[in-house]
Structure 1
Amino acid sequence: MQIWRSLDEVPADLGPTAVTLGNFDGVHRGHQAVLVQMVADARERGHRAVAMTFEPHPKAVHDPEHPPVLITGLDDKLDRLAETGLDGVLVVPYTLEFASQTPQEFVRRWLVDGLGAATVVVGADTKFGRGNAGDVETMRAIGATMGFETDIVDDACAVSETGRRWSSTWVRELLDDGRMREAATVLGRPHRLRGIVVDGDKLGREIGFPTANLDVTGGMVPRHGVYAGWMTVLDGRGNDRAAALVGERLATAISIGINYTVGAQGLRIEGFAFDRSGLDLYGADVAFDLIEWRRPMLDFGSLEGLKDALAADVAWCRQMLQVD
């Protein structure tokens, strides 16, 4: 899948396309179903399948004091979009100037002239253009004059087996509750936190549980507590020892929250890869995939109490991850 950050990067010979647009936060199973169907339809017509998404999220621009909590960072979102079979994604820098375009200006510049849209795929509740003045009927009318078809997404493919519509809101509810397996069902995969490994306070090393401390760059931080999960090095970023582990999944006990036992301040997100010793991951780009929530963050009264609790956590994580 090609990724373009501006219209100037879109190949001049891209050819006719099927284009859809959206934020695709989480790229959950509803998004996946729509995109996979769009890709299949585009293939039948001999067209390229392209998605347009926005960075930052429009709500963060229109209401910067209340930015949305995003389920997935941009890098992971693009990875998930690629898995649907799309040929390309245009990441549009969202600004107030961009938002000021009329529906007609937006469609002409970005969809028709920019991406060569022969078909535009939209949901029934799609809004676009200045003041959200454009809707599905607007798109149909513009398409009739500019020479593209407008396909309305069938909502049936975005509904779960329970009857509830797949949605980013549903995922956020589950993450806030620590219901990771249910969240994974809606997402179609475990929830992921991604970031850079940074220096911590070295307490874990002192008590026999050395951790990788994550400075999160993408992914919604879920309910605080202890989790069973997997740690994967995505890019060593100049750390040769970390680079040797790229792509390998490491069984990990993950802690999200404040270490009350030692009176620590501030949120810590750290993982202990319990079957690996001597890991040096500093500076690496690392992902934590969260599988199951165990317990909240607690004050165990002493370092000995904390060590006993962590040992029990690791034993539980082994069981959850089915690691011998």
Structure 2
Amino acid sequence: MCRKDAVRSSVVAIGNFDGVHLGHREVLAEARRHCPDAPLIVVTFWPHPRSVLKPGEGPMLLTRLEERIELLQDAGADRVEVIRFTPELASWSPEQFVAECLLPLNPRCVVVGENFRFGHRAAGNVETLRELGAGVFEVLALRLVRYGDEDTCSSRIREALLSGDVEHAAEHLGRLFRFAGVVTVGDKRGRGLGFPTANLPVPRHLACPADGVYAGWVTRLDGRDGVGVPLPDGHPDEVWPAAISVGSNPTFDGVQRRVESYVLDRDDLALYDVPIAVDFVARIRGQVKFADVDELIETMNSDVDRVRSRLAEPAAYA
């Protein structure tokens, strides 16, 4: 299941790496510092082990797999090995995991977090890994990175998003929380109200900030400008300020949860079926069910003013 073609001596970092937050990036940075002349191979698992071991109880993921791989590469990985987590893999002993998944990577050093567990019923820990690697590879176990008085971990970031605290999530991520997808056709009410939006459905398995209105940025990801004209080679993706609504639109009895982004001062954007990314800067307010359309429009105008002011402020993770 995990055997790979032999590679030259490497340094290997292992973990779930959901979100590729500050702690994850420190693992990769330490691996690179420890073995600067060796290729850095990152081993990650998909799907999340908990979703396999306890179906229906897996965590909401901070990133899709392709986003995780890209973030790991940006953080310094020379190669990302995705191990398919299955009930069979979960039944392996620590010895089998090392033999099948690690030794083929020819590790000189394996870098993990201090809470790393592996093998059937999480029987293996850092000391087990050291024993199994004795004479073959070194093991570095790193303490969790802290922000303020909190350990940085994916669970804490999910908790921050669940409460709508995207600024706290960004502190642990080391960047703005990003939700990406392909724009779909919505109810088309926004345009009639004077606030056309780019709509992204929220899949059940992906983490997203709590329902409400946020200030943030929208990035078009297909190398074209707002109306679909290809950008010159080497030109950065276009980024626009946006008022972002997350929720099911209770004023109109909506049922589907969506991320709806109104790009400030633009009504000419052609974004249907276009991949975009939405980066959340700050929460403006919670979700409200309005008594009528006039009250909704009045509040939306106020929201836009507040978003504009917030985005004009210096941002730590802009």
2-structure distance, mates of 1:265, 1:152:
46
1:185 aligned partner: 171
Runs of 4+ displaced beyond 6 Å: none
Deviation digits for residues 10-53 of structure 1, max 9, x if unmatched?
6x5x411111211112211111122111112120xx21111100
**Mapped contact 1:236–1:284 kept (Cα < 8 A):** no
Letter in 1 for 2:125: D
1:294 aligned partner: 284
2-structure distance, mates of 1:6, 1:198:
37
1:152 aligned partner: 141
Q: Does 1:233 align with 2:220?
A: yes
Deviation digits for residues 81-107 of structure 1, max 9, x if unmatched?
122212111111111122222211211
Deviation digits for residues 190-238 of structure 1, max 9, x if unmatched?
111111111101100111111111024685111110001101122379x
Helix, strand or coil at the partner of 1:32: helix
**Mapped contact 1:52–1:89 kept (Cα < 8 A):** yes
Structure 1 segments unaligned to the other structure (5+ residues): none
2-structure distance, mates of 1:6, 1:216:
32
Distance 1:116 1:284, change over 3 A: same
Q: TM-score of the superposition, structure 1-length normalised?
A: 0.88
2:189 aligned partner: 203
Deviation digits for residues 166-207 of structure 1, max 9, x if unmatched?
112221221122122221111100111111111101100111
Helix, strand or coil at the partner of 2:71: helix
Letter in 1 for 2:278: F
Higher helix share: 1
Letter in 1 for 2:61: L
Aligned pair partner of 1:93 in 62, 78, 84 = 84
Helix, strand or coil at the partner of 1:78: helix
Letter in 1 for 2:138: E
1-structure distance, mates of 2:229, 2:45:
32
Count of residue pairs brought into register by the alignment: 308
1:265 aligned partner: 255
Letter in 2 for 1:267: R
Superposition deviation, residue 277 in structure 1: 2.0
Superposition deviation, residue 291 in structure 1: 0.5
Superposition deviation, residue 261 in structure 1: 2.3
Q: TM-score of the superposition, structure 2-length normalised?
A: 0.89
1:63 aligned partner: 54
1:224 aligned partner: 211
Q: Does 1:129 align with 2:116?
A: no
Supply the RMSD in Å over aligned alpha carbons. 2.4
1:106 aligned partner: 97
Identity of aligned residues (%): 37
Letter in 2 for 1:64: P
Letter in 2 for 1:149: E
**Mapped contact 1:121–1:150 kept (Cα < 8 A):** yes
Superposition deviation, residue 243 in structure 1: 5.7
1:20 aligned partner: 13
